[in-house]
């Protein structure tokens, strides 16, 4: 049977594997795990069967506490049972998790790891949620990429059935969960090979049943509780080897070999970073870059965090290592962060242990870039490195942060790196996901898509980051140097520096109401400077006009997608257009041939209206990108809020942030929400305003969804 190559995100990958090897799924969706529950619910409703030919039962409970209780109960009936959650949702499962683990019950929870609310809520990702349950008795297994998510979900299920230790399988929320990648989909045959019928039968035998009455979940007193608690030791001691065995078997089936701790680096490395989940990929990319420069570095990618096998961990690290930096994506105030503690303890009592320092990074999806990885390796070279540090921010209060070079790049210079600026619901993200699928299916390229949404009420910007190329992609961070930039909304030019990340020689595609001969005068000064200085190729299309004339209304997404393919040369133009049309038929076919034909017409017209602009040789603009807020705004708004609005929030130092999440009120009035063009004629303003109103309604709907999550 051939390998099935698909393009999907981490949530779908987790749901795919989990759905097909379970029977009961109890859910209470929470961002960013919701799609796992939603996919499962949809598949169950459609009668999609698992590997045993039955349709899993998906039930939404009243809260995550209820979901955990339902999972606990279903497991006690012998059903193979799972759930999906994140963040505060996981916290509500804690009481049941202690019970499920104490009763040595086989299950896997799939978690898109998300920040816990502290001084502020965050829907984004870090490991504060999964680290808060590391003491429950669950095993913790981390996936670093979308492919790993699909794979580890199965490995975890195999291991939990054999070890009887319940598993929490996690991956980075709002990174891996929402990152679209081309992966090999695990086959049913592989799943069947991994999930032993005998072990499933043994799981059922342990169920509570009137046929074999037993009692479980009693109260115990001081006389015997302690002994009974220690009676589970042997299961935890056996667990790491069982996981490795499952990984080895999976490798024999699929060719993809994992280890509890995967080491990548020089066999005689002197400096090593220990890290978990998606940031391990970026670290690997930098390690490979530095290896080419003959630096003695390496990375340990932690997969099985609990039970933490000191033996396997120590074996994974070259004996030549002199210093180690342990990276935690969580913060535990008043204590040392968890992975750092475990690594220190692993070396405790050994002769000549390496120097071990610990760093915190990436809280709430803060980017972890090659420059930051490099800064950590540089820190390890120092005679007196910071024992505990942060990286990715400027901590000018307690001086924990490392300096790093924001321009340091290890991105694959051969591949395509494309950035698209779109409005919340203008279809840009959908079209880009579609483009990735087309490229993934029609080429041998590796592909990656990641989509940045602004969850702030003031913003409706979406930025799509697409990478593809002939090398495996370990760049798990936003594109730093783009060779293609598309701006799907002309009005963005006034508000955002859209060409900031364009590389010299890159291509710029602009949706513009102004034609190739007049557009230059409507472009802000900074943008003109980028175009000239970076020698960009510059294309315009009036997608709004094309959409209007082909009856597409405000839907410009397929038009812009067509132009992207036409000028990026990722695929031969005809092939690309044929693929776009195929996908249009798939997406809109059920809405009738008229809609399909409208879209076809839009695609065809797009190419007629796509023009390259002859770039003048000097900056002529009389205006520039607008300041994000007016000068009369209060000090905090000018100093802090303004940076957040203009996308420079990453540069705000610690000293400028409130210590306890307390903000001044009434700051939103300084944020301009309405995205419209001012320096143009009335007709155009009218068109844009109408579009904006329509979009506003749709965006409001999305907002209310985001805020209810």
**Per CB under 8 A, which of residues 147..176 are in contact with a second copy?**
164-165
Q: Record the tokens describing residue 493, joined without a space.
A: 């030019």
Minimum distance of a second copy from residue 363's CB (angstroms):
4
Whether the CA torsion 190, 195, 196, 201 is positive or negative: it is negative
Query: Least distance from C-beta 301 to a second copy, angstroms?
Result: 19
Stretch of residues binding a second copy (CB under 8 A), selected from 227-235, 263-271, 464-472, 609-617: 227-235
Our CA angle for 639, 452, 416, nearest 5°, is 120
Given the rule CB under 8 A, which of 332-340, 515-523, 547-555, 576-584 is the region that contacts a second copy?
332-340
Site for a second copy in 197-216 (CB under 8 A): 206, 213-216
Minimum CB–partner distance for residue 131 and a second copy (Å): 7
Q: Which is nearer to a second copy, 54 or 398 (CB)?
A: 398
Q: How far is the CB of 282 from a second copy (least distance, A)?
A: 15
If one asks whether residue 345 binds a second copy (CB under 8 A), the answer comes out as: yes
CA distance 190 to 85: 26
Taking CB under 8 A as the rule, does residue 233 contact a second copy?
Answer: yes
By CB neighbour count within 10 A (0-12 exposed, 13-18 middle, 19+ buried), where does 400 fall? middle
Do the beta carbons of residue 517 and residue 547 sit within 8 Å?
no
CB of 512 to a second copy, least distance (A): 29
Nearer to a second copy among residue 95 and residue 318 (C-beta): 95
Q: How far is CA 480 from the centre of its chain?
A: 16
Distance (Å, rounded) from C-alpha 232 to C-alpha 102?
8
Region binding a second copy by CB under 8 A among candidate stretches 541-549, 581-589, 622-630, 647-655:
647-655
> Which of 92, 150, 375, 493 lies at the binding interface for a second copy (CB under 8 A)?
92
How far is residue 267's CA from residue 258's CA, in Å, rounded to a whole number? 18
**Residue 382 burial (C-beta neighbours within 10 Å; 0-12, 13-18, 19+):** exposed
Selected from 197, 198, 211, 230, the binder of a second copy by CB under 8 A is 230
Residue 278 binding a second copy, by CB under 8 A: no
Q: What is the DSSP string of 69-100?
A: HHHHHHHHTT--EEEEE-HHHHHHHHHHHHHH
By CB under 8 A, is residue 331 in contact with a second copy? yes
- Comparing CB distances to a second copy, the nearer of 165 and 269 is 165
Kindly tell me which residue out of 649, 674, 690, 705 binds a second copy, with binding defined by CB under 8 A. 649
- Nearest distance in Å: CB 342, a second copy: 7
CA 109/CA 166 separation, integer angstroms: 8
Q: How far is the CB of 308 from a second copy (least distance, A)?
A: 6
Contacting a second copy within 547-606 (CB under 8 A): none
Measured from the CB atom, is 353 or 504 closer to a second copy? Answer: 353
Residues 392-411 that bind a second copy (CB under 8 A): 392-395, 397-398, 400
Report how far residue 607's alpha carbon sits from residue 632's, in angstroms, rounded to the nearest whole number: 46
Distance in Å, CB of 564 to a second copy, minimum? 26
Smaller CB separation from a second copy, 387 or 518:
387
Is 593 or 627 the residue whose CB approaches a second copy more closely?
Answer: 627
Of 395 and 575, CB closest to a second copy:
395
Asked if 91 is part of the footprint of a second copy (rule: CB under 8 A), the reply reads yes
Our CB check for a second copy shows the closer of 94 and 607 to be 94
Tell me the residue ranges of DSSP E strands in 416-568: 416-423, 446-453, 461-469, 482-487, 502-511, 537-541
End-to-end CA distance of the chain: 41
Residue 308 near residue 342 (C-beta atoms within 8 A)? yes
Stretch of 311-319, 389-397, 410-418, 441-449 contacting a second copy, by CB under 8 A: 389-397
Among residues 1, 47, 54, 218, which is the contact residue for a second copy, using CB under 8 A?
218
Residues from 284 through 313 that contact a second copy (CB under 8 A) = 306-308
Angle at 101 between CA 139 and CA 154, to 5 degrees: 45
The dihedral formed by the CA atoms of 248, 249, 251 and 254, expressed in degrees to the nearest 10: -170
Q: Which is nearer to a second copy, 98 or 408 (CB)?
A: 98
Instruction: Output 134 or 555, the one with its CB closest to a second copy.
Output: 134
Task: Return the number of the residue (53 or 213) whose C-beta is nearest a second copy.
Answer: 213
Kindly state the DSSP code that residue 30 receives in the 8-state scheme. Answer: -
CB 61 within 8 A of CB 26: yes
Among 45, 204, 225, 504, the residue binding a second copy under the rule CB under 8 A is: 225
Does 236 interact with a second copy (rule: CB under 8 A)?
yes
What residues contact 703, with CB distance under 8 A and at least 6 apart?
457
117-136: contacts with a second copy (CB under 8 A): 117-124, 128, 131-132, 134-136
Q: Residues 338, 371, 440, 554: which binds a second copy (CB under 8 A)? A: 338
* Alpha helical stretches, state H, 428-488: 428-442
- Binder among 88, 196, 609, 698 for a second copy (CB under 8 A): 88
Among residues 53 and 210, whose Cβ is nearest to a second copy? Answer: 210
Helices 557-568/593-608 angle, 10° precision = 40
Residues 652-681, mask of contacts with a second copy (x by CB under 8 A)? xxxxxxxxxxxxxxx---------------
> Alpha-carbon distance 680 to 684, whole Å?
7
- In the numeric block, which tokens belong to residue 373? 């990885």
Of 292, 348, 407, 414, the residue at the interface with a second copy (CB under 8 A) is 348
Give me the least distance between CB of 384 and a second copy, in Å please: 11
Residue 321 or residue 438: which is nearer to a second copy going by CB?
321
At how many degrees (to 10) do helices 197-205 and 146-163 cross? 50
Q: Is residue 383 involved in binding a second copy (CB under 8 A)?
A: no
- For the CB of residue 556, give the shortest distance to a second copy in the complex, in Å: 27
Instruction: Kindly state the smallest distance separating residue 480's Cβ from a second copy, in Å.
Output: 15
H/E stretch holding 66: helix 64-76
Q: What are the φ and ψ backbone dihedral angles of 464, each rounded to 5 degrees?
A: -95, 135
Shortest reach from residue 653's CB to a second copy, in Å: 7
Number of residues that bind a second copy (CB under 8 A): 118
| R_g of the chain computed on alpha carbons | 26
Q: What phi, psi does 394 have (nearest 5°)?
A: -110, 105
Minimum CB distance to a second copy smaller for 56 or for 338:
338
Q: Which is nearer to a second copy, 234 or 618 (CB)?
A: 234
> From start to end of 565-639, where are the E strands?
611-612
Residue 481's Cβ-count burial label (10 Å; 0-12, 13-18, 19+) is middle
Nearest to 298 by CA among 392, 368, 373: 373
Element (H, E) at 227: helix 225-230
Query: Binder to a second copy among 8, 239, 324, 423 (CB under 8 A)?
Result: 239
Distance CA 190, CA 460 (A): 42
Phi and psi for 368 in degrees, rounded to 5?
-120, 105
Residues 432-491 that bind a second copy (CB under 8 A): 454-456
User: Looking at beta carbons only, is 163 or 511 nearer to a second copy?
Assistant: 163
Residue 95 interacting with a second copy (CB under 8 A): yes
Contact stretch for a second copy (CB under 8 A) within 143-151, 343-351, 521-529, 676-684: 343-351
Nearest alpha carbon to residue 581 among 568, 597, 563, 564: 597
Q: How many angstroms separate the Cα of 79 from the Cα of each of 24, 49, 166?
A: 7, 15, 14
């Amino acid at each position: 049977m051939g390998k099935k190559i698909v393009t999907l995100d981490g949530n779908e990958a987790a749901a795919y594997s989990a759905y097909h090897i379970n029977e009961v799924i109890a859910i209470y969706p929470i961002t960013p795990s919701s799609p796992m529950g939603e996919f499962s619910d949809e598949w169950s409703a459609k009668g999609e069967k698992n590997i045993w030919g039955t349709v899993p039962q998906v039930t939404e409970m009243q809260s995550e506490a209820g979901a955990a209780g339902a999972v606990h109960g279903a497991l006690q009936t012998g059903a193979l049972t799972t759930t999906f959650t994140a963040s505060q949702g996981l916290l509500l499962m804690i009481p049941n998790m202690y019970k499920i683990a104490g009763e040595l019950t086989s299950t896997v929870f799939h978690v898109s790891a998300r920040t816990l609310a502290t001084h502020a809520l965050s829907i984004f990702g870090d490991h504060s949620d999964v680290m808060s349950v590391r003491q429950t008795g669950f095993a913790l297994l981390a996936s670093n990429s979308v492919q790993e998510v699909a794979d580890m979900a199965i490995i975890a299920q195999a291991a939990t059935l054999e070890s009887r230790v319940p598993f929490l399988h996690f991956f980075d929320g709002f990174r891996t969960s929402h990152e679209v990648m081309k992966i090999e989909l695990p086959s049913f045959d592989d799943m069947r090979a991994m999930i032993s019928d005998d072990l499933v039968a043994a799981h059922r035998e342990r169920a509570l049943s009137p046929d074999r009455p037993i009692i479980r979940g009693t109260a115990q007193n001081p006389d015997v509780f302690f002994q009974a608690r220690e009676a589970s030791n042997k299961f935890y001691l056996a667990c790491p080897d069982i996981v490795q065995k499952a990984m080895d078997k999976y490798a024999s089936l699929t060719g993809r070999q994992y280890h509890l701790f995967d080491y990548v680096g020089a066999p005689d490395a002197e400096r090593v970073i220990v890290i978990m989940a998606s940031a391990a990929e970026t670290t690997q990319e930098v390690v490979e870059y530095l290896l080419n420069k003959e630096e003695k570095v390496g990375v340990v990618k932690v997969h099985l965090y609990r039970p933490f096998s000191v033996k396997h961990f120590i074996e994974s690290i070259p004996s030549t290592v002199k210093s180690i930096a342990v990276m935690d994506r969580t913060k535990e105030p008043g204590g040392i962060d968890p992975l750092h503690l475990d690594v220190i303890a692993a070396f405790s009592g050994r002769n000549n242990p390496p120097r071990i320092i610990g760093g915190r990074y990436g809280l709430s999806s803060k980017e972890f870039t090659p420059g930051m990885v490099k800064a950590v390796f540089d820190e390890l070279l120092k005679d007196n490195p910071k024992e505990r540090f942060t990286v990715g921010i400027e901590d000018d209060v307690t001086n924990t942060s490392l300096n790093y070079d924001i321009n340091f790049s290890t991105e694959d210079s051969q591949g395509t790196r494309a950035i698209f600026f779109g409005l919340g619901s203008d279809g840009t993200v959908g079209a880009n996901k579609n483009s990735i699928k087309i490229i993934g299916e029609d080429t041998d390229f590796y592909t990656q898509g990641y989509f940045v949404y602004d969850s702030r009420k003031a913003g409706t910007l979406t930025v799509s980051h697409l990478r593809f190329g002939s090398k495996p992609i370990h760049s798990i961070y936003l594109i730093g140097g783009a060779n293609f930039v598309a701006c799907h909304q002309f009005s963005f030019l006034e508000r955002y520096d859209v060409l900031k990340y364009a590389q010299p020689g890159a291509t710029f595609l602009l949706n513009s109401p102004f034609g190739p001969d007049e557009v230059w005068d409507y472009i802000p000064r900074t943008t003109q400077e980028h175009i000239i200085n970076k020698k960009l190729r510059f294309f315009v299309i009036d997608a709004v006009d094309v959409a209007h004339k082909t009856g597409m209304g405000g839907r410009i997404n397929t038009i812009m997608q067509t132009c992207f393919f036409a000028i990026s040369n990722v695929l031969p133009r005809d092939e690309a257009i044929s693929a776009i049309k195929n996908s249009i038929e798939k997406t809109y076919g059920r809405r009738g041939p008229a809609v399909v034909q409208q879209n076809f017409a839009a695609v065809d017209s797009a190419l007629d209206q796509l023009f390259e602009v002859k770039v003048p040789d000097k900056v002529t603009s009389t205006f520039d990108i607008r300041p994000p807020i007016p000068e009369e705004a209060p000090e905090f708004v000018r100093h802090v809020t303004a940076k957040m609005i203009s996308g420079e929030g990453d540069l705000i130092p610690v000293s400028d942030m409130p210590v306890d999440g307390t903000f001044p009120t009434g700051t939103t009035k300084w944020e301009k929400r309405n995205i419209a063009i001012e320096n143009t004629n009335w007709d155009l303003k009218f068109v844009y305003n109408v579009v904006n109103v329509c979009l506003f309604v749709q965006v409001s709907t999305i907002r209310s969804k985001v805020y209810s999550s």
